[in-house]
Structure 1
Amino acid sequence: MTATITPLLTQQQIADYHEDGYLIVRNVLSRKEAAELRRIVQQEVIRDAYPSTLKYPQSAKYTVSGNRLAEPGLTAIAEHPTVVGAVESVLGQPAHLTAYVAYLRTPGDKGAGAHCDYKRWRPVGSSMNWVFAIIPLTDFDTEYGPFLVSPKSHKLTQVIDEDAHILDLTRPNAEQLASFIDPELKAGDLLVVNEHVWHKAPAGTTTEDRCGIFNKYCAVNAPPAAGYYPYNPAALDALSDDGKRLIPTCFDKPITTTRLLIEDTSSQESKFLLRSDTGLPGGEGWEEEKLVGWDVGARIGSLQELAKTQLDLEVPWMSYIEDIEEENGICRIYGFSHENLDVDGLANNGYDWFTESEMRQRLGETDAICHTADIWHQADLIRGKGKACHQSRQQFE
């Protein structure tokens, strides 16, 4: 695959992206390169794809994703210099690859209706600054099925308080959507799309497969509120030395536990809830059964249940902080802060509140929980609110 680095986007291109919500770069791949990558994707779909309940060529949308980027021929597009350069130009930050996704839509599939993909319950959709990087491997036209966007629709969602530690958003009003337009994407083009842009993909008429790469990248300073997708060492090793920086998390153990840093912000100095024997509340974590698919890694639903059981606390949202390697697996840690907690009611059953200085004195400067609190308060990180799958219909509440 061509490795020529395209110059950075012009200031006008970046301004147009922020105004319209999308940017087109033509001919990132040659027709020959696009055809070869399409052949590889088709081959991988035939071998094994999501959903596993269907078998190619049944009419459906099939996905080859995540750690499958390590398969021969699939890796290079994730770190293609033109793609990464355009993505990082509009993000204004170095990027992390939050999702590697190759889609194949067989004839007869009904396509997708109007929607946007900011989704607080999914690792791929819950960052406060992320983009699609869409590379058609067939033309996206009326024959194969176009990819339509609603210009400026990303502006329907606004940050409520830009000075808040955890950012919240207004609910978009779909009735205010501008008319959808067709960017007339050809095989090998690149479409960079803002996370809040509404789009749809009507069905085509062809008897051939519609195929494309739909990778997602977030800014390194805007981690997904639901937590990162867990890449494995094979995926990391498949990338070049320069490309390895795109992988945000990598481990060869499963995410087995999850814990919650609870912060009381009712006074000038924050306090954190700790238990003398177990540290942070939490325990065994699990995937929710619905709406997960290939986008695994979130533990918000299980941690909400644990908080309710252990503390009788309803946690309406939480935001990913970090992953810690333990003997038998990975512990995924989230944070939650509020100024109206029942402080006295929560300080029982071995739990108590500690200021950051008290916590350091009790646990030691190098303790993992103190490090977690440091990351939670890291001023240069942009955090949003993560939700559980069961809250998907109320994500803006």
Structure 2
Amino acid sequence: MKNEFEKNGYYILRNVLTNAEVDRLAGPIRAAFSGGDYDTYEEGAAYPSPGIHSMGPRVLEEHPDIAELSLAHPAIVAAVQELFGEPATLAQFWSIMRPPGAGVGDEPFVKGSTAHYDYKPWRCVGSYVKWMFAVVPFVDYTETAGPLAVSPGSHRETTLLPSDGRVHQVDAAQVPSPAEISLVDPSLKKGDVVLMNGFLWHEARPNYGNSDRCGLYMKFHAKSSPPACGPTIYPSAVHDFLPDDVKHLVPYHRGDGQYAALRDGPVGGVDEAQLLIEDSDEKLLVLGNDTDGWQLPK
């Protein structure tokens, strides 16, 4: 597994979940989309209208038990931590619903035109240097429903530069044009789980079928590789539900409803913060000119 993952940037765990287990996991997630209780809800363009509808970890507040079929599933956790070589932390719990017609435009879809990878140093769900996806499809990702295509070996195009003692700079690769990129369909089936290096180029194809294409898109980061900004805050309900041996997967949580979500107004989730600025002489504050107080260095 490890050799294949390091070479190709992805590895598929086949038949990890039974159909019944996938349905149990998908049940409350599908219900949230049907009921309009999801993060990207927009009146007039809501599910089941064609589009890319998505939801964060809010579903874990009322249904923490689905963690045992997803973020804390023994086979998934074991594989992720084996590939990391250290304990893992849940970085993202995101459900994506693509109804029939999602991604279908007036012009024919050009394969490779939406290929990307998720490294984003300004976001808590993409600012890692040692991280991976764990994708759980709720249906077969067929050519009709829309494959999750991947570019084998593309993760090696991005280079992690040596640390300066505090951070790692990343020489982030540019995704090639559709004519130049090589993408393959890994034929993901209901019950499979695909693990993908966070720097792997991938693409979700349009849904040309007559049924929903839905799945769970988790991310994990190695404990030694925290986000450049963040972390993601989860409902305490899921942390409390987890057995002691996997509570480390969700170390950042709160029980007052201020967990990670898209909201209409300010979240107000930061209780206390400190700003640390260093000058060339390693001074944090200096005596102000003609003042009796301290000021930040110029």
Q: Secondary structure at the match of 1:15?
A: helix
Residue 187, structure 1, aligned to residue 190, structure 2: yes
Q: Does the 8 Å CA contact 1:153/1:178 hold for their aligned counterparts?
A: no
Cα pair distance change 1:350/1:93, threshold 3 Å: same
Q: Does the 8 Å CA contact 2:60/2:235 hold for their aligned counterparts?
A: no
How far apart, CA to CA, are the structure 2 residues paired with 1:233 and 1:275?
Answer: 42
What residue in structure 1 maps to residue 66 of structure 2?
74
Match of 1:50 among 30, 39, 45: 39
Query: How much has 1:252 moved relative to structure 2?
Result: 4.2
Q: Which runs of 5 or more structure 1 residues have no equivalent in the other structure?
A: 1-12, 277-343, 354-397
Alignment of 1:1-397 (within 5 A): 13-47=1-35, 48-53=37-42, 54-72=45-63, 73-76=65-68, 77-110=70-103, 113-162=114-163, 164-175=165-176, 178-252=181-255, 254-264=269-279, 266=280, 271-274=282-285, 350-351=294-295
Letter in 1 for 2:294: G
Query: How much has 1:37 moved relative to structure 2?
Result: 2.5
Q: Deviations over 1:74-119 (max 9, x none)?
A: 3221100111111111122101111111222111110781110011
Q: Does the 8 Å CA contact 1:261/1:272 hold for their aligned counterparts?
A: no
Cα pair distance change 1:349/1:133, threshold 3 Å: farther
Cα pair distance change 1:74/1:352, threshold 3 Å: same
TM-score for the superposition, normalised by structure 2: 0.82
Query: How much has 1:56 moved relative to structure 2?
Result: 2.0
How far apart, CA to CA, are the structure 2 residues paired with 1:40 and 1:232?
Answer: 16
Query: How much has 1:40 moved relative to structure 2?
Result: 2.9
More divergent stretch after superposition (100-109 vs 78-87): 100-109
Task: Give the % identical residues.
Answer: 33
How far apart, CA to CA, are the structure 2 residues paired with 1:58 and 1:240?
Answer: 39
What residue in structure 2 maps to residue 331 of structure 1?
none
Q: Does the 8 Å CA contact 2:136/2:194 hold for their aligned counterparts?
A: yes
Letter in 2 for 1:233: S
Q: Secondary structure at the match of 1:160?
A: strand
Query: How much has 1:29 moved relative to structure 2?
Result: 0.4
Q: Does the 8 Å CA contact 1:69/1:100 hold for their aligned counterparts?
A: no
Cα pair distance change 1:349/1:126, threshold 3 Å: farther
Q: Secondary structure at the match of 1:66?
A: coil
Q: How many aligned positions are there?
A: 269
Q: Secondary structure at the match of 1:35?
A: helix
Cα pair distance change 1:272/1:181, threshold 3 Å: farther
TM-score for the superposition, normalised by structure 1: 0.62
Letter in 2 for 1:159: L
Q: Secondary structure at the match of 1:98?
A: strand
How far apart, CA to CA, are the structure 1 residues paired with 2:78 and 2:62?
Answer: 23
